[in-house]
Structure 1
């Protein structure tokens, strides 16, 4: 009994702590949309988890010495209510996820005409277009406006829309920047598009999230988010070099 009480107390403390915990500020509009969805689902999942755990503990305590259990009595009203409540929860989760995935920064096709090959030409004039070629095992990052190519490092300006035109030289890769909420598979023979708008300057890790060979573990890099003047100076320096 003491052990059960301690488990209940620890569970209650974990739930309370999660409710009052302040998450770190999102570093991009992509990550902000994902964090908002997670928060919505958390407020649904926490009460359900608490209800299930309380019911479980009550059943264990209430029927712990029941040597002559009897069959459960049918309760159609309870079954209908429980089924309807589950349906409402699933609809809420589905609608929330749908509107999040419809965000053009998470699903660029919702903004484009579906043709990734025309992404650079169709991009608004204020967008920064960066071409990224994935290969075993690295990243070739090309800036078409300045005719600059760098390796394993993506530099973007803060508070500006950025489009990545993605291609693969050999096998399937996947660009993944957790802090910026960017993740997009890159299929050989096709062009993909990823979009973001970073809201915080800083250095972020870049990974390949698709097993692409024995060098997959070392296929990483850096994403640097600079302010406008620093970004312009960096592009000019690379062009001159």
Structure 2
């Protein structure tokens, strides 16, 4: 009875993990790439977990009354098989992770360095200034600056030029899959293309002092017409 209960729990675990493998629609290209990688790794980890657990249950049941245990007999073929299988899994995981890391939205600085330097020339550029303990956003040549509120156009490539006036900070927008450390005396780069209009939260992900926990901002993603109207109003107000 105990064995059946254990197997039943394993089946429930498998069902729960399979449901987790189908997340809600991603809000950006970045997040979609990350979610896809997580799903691929889960599809590998789930059968391995079930195999190990079922093997453990079998061993407990099969040898439960063994009062005279003996060493396992050498089996070179079996050892070669599981070593090769482990190597194949590690190669799959490594290649999958490399493909995501090479994505120009996940690692834009590396992607731009490998091209002619103008790969993102058509992106909307936003200068992000981090300081203890707040955020300032400047929108290219529009002479528009906002604080604690970042507005993005939906379905448009956006490049962030990140700087800090003091210590190390990190821009982190979980729902958009954006995260990048910002180092003093350096200009860092982050990139995204939001696909779902709405409001999201931006955090500092590096401990930067007493006000770190309050160093947040609101990210607003608008469709193109709403973004253009907002930009016109901000430009008029700045003028």
- 2:186 aligns with one of 153, 171, 190: 190
Verify the 8 A CA contact 2:27 2:194 in the aligned structure 1. yes
- Runs of 4+ aligned structure 1 residues displaced above 6 Å come to none
Residues 43-84 of structure 1 deviation map (CA, whole Å, 9 limit, x = unaligned): 111110110010111111111222221112111111111111
Where do 1:134-149 residues align within 5 Å?
Answer: 134-149=130-145
Count of paired positions: 236
Superposed CA deviations along residues 125-162 of structure 1, whole A, max 9, x for unmatched, are: 3x110000111111111112211111111100001000
Q: Which runs of 5+ in 2 are unaligned?
A: none
Counterpart of 1:226?
222
What TM-score do you get using the length of structure 2 for normalisation? 0.92
After TM superposition, the score normalised by the length of structure 1 is 0.92
CA shift, 1:214, in A, is 1.7
Q: How far off its partner does 1:224 sit?
A: 0.6
Shift of 1:228: 0.8
Give, in whole Å, the separation in 1 of the partners of 2:111 and 2:80.
Answer: 42
C-alpha displacement at 1:169, in angstroms? Answer: 0.9
5+ long unaligned stretches in structure 1:
none
1:112 is paired with a residue whose SS is: helix
Q: Which of 139, 156, 159 is the aligned partner of 1:160?
A: 156
**1:10 aligned onto 2:9:** yes
SS at 1:134 equivalent: strand
Aligned pairs for 1:193-208 (under 5 A) are 193-208=189-204
Instruction: Tell me the distance in 2 between the aligned counterparts of 1:144 and 1:9.
Output: 58
| 1:48-197 correspondence to structure 2 within 5 Å | 48-113=48-113, 123-125=120-122, 127-197=123-193
